[in-house]
Amino acid sequence: MEVRQARADDHEDVVAFTSDTWGDRFDRGDYIPEVFPEWVESDGPDQRTVVAEEAGRAVGVCQVVALSDHEAWAQGMRVADDARAKGVAEAMNDACFDWARDRGATVCRNMVFSWNAAGLGAARGVGYDPATEFRWAHPDPDVDARADANGASGLAATGDPDAAWSYWQRSDAARELAGLTLDPEESWALSEATRERFRAAADEQQVFAVQGPDGTRGAALRTREYERDTEAGGSERWVEYGVGAWDDVPAAQTLFAAIARDAADLDADRTRVLIPETPRHVSDAAYAGIAVSENPDFVMAADLTGRR
């Protein structure tokens, strides 16, 4: 078995062993066959896609991306059924860790669905430890959305990035999420939030700071907009928010109402907001009338500082 950089002509093999990754769990199926050609084409100094080759065919795939000068993100780890228990995942993972460490990364993270016990076990087996967990909140786009909880009348969502950053730093959401929010460049990846990220979001996307007479009580930032195909053959416009944090239900209602109006202004069909997976945050969102995803997602992290 050889681990090497992926090539365009590996696509057929990769499609073959990723066509039924999730069985009947997802109607959309695995995303790897669709994105693999783009991954190969866009590989460069900050990204590397690898495959494991055995007997002339690709039997595994994984990608690693440099998110900052010290953070890497691994994704898309897949191994063919007939190549499992042969050290394929370990070999690809080691190649990704070495690549990241050579570029100065001290940590590599990945995301595993909480229901994917096999994936969680594999992640632990190749060097990842639990880091944090999150869930998606899905406020409906609504140009007329207003907060109506008792106590929310004195609150308003402003676009002050420094107030939002100051709140985020001291929030229990930042503590629960280990300081991570959705990365602005790499979809699905989480990386460490910075003041510059909040200021850039204010300039390029949108930032929300829930403020009242007693100071700032919530924060969020918009991360990206994109189109997603539907089962019926059409498309939906999604707007994604990198994190949502708040003190209490009135602040949550004010924040989600501002997000709903913002999404409506962008003609969004759907939204998702990353929130901490805690009883308070999930139940606050539900109490505020916001739909939340059925299961959380787990973020795992590997310490690379011991690698040479």
**pLDDT tens per residue, range 283-298:** 999 999 999 999 999 9
- pLDDT, residue 236, reads 94
Name every residue whose Cβ is closer than 8 Å to that of residue 53 and which is 6 or more positions away in sequence: 1, 2, 3, 4, 59
In 3-state terms, what secondary structure has residue 31? coil
- pLDDT, residue 238, reads 97
At 47, give phi and psi (nearest 5°).
Answer: -155, 140
Its sign, for the CA torsion 117, 39, 110, 94, is positive
In 3-state terms, what secondary structure has residue 141? coil
More confident residue, 92 or 307: 92
Range from 31-35, 188-192, 276-280 carrying the lowest mean pLDDT: 31-35
- pLDDT, residue 45, reads 96
- pLDDT, residue 29, reads 67
230 pLDDT more than 80: no
- pLDDT, residue 204, reads 96
In 3-state terms, what secondary structure has residue 15? helix
Segment 10-20 shows an average pLDDT of: 91
91 pLDDT more than 70: yes
- pLDDT, residue 147, reads 81
Q: What is the mean pLDDT of the chain?
A: 93
Segment 124-138 shows an average pLDDT of: 96
- pLDDT, residue 154, reads 86
The amino acid that residue 255 corresponds to is L
Segment 98-104 shows an average pLDDT of: 96
What's the predicted TM-score (pTM) here?
A: 0.93
- pLDDT, residue 30, reads 79
- pLDDT, residue 155, reads 92
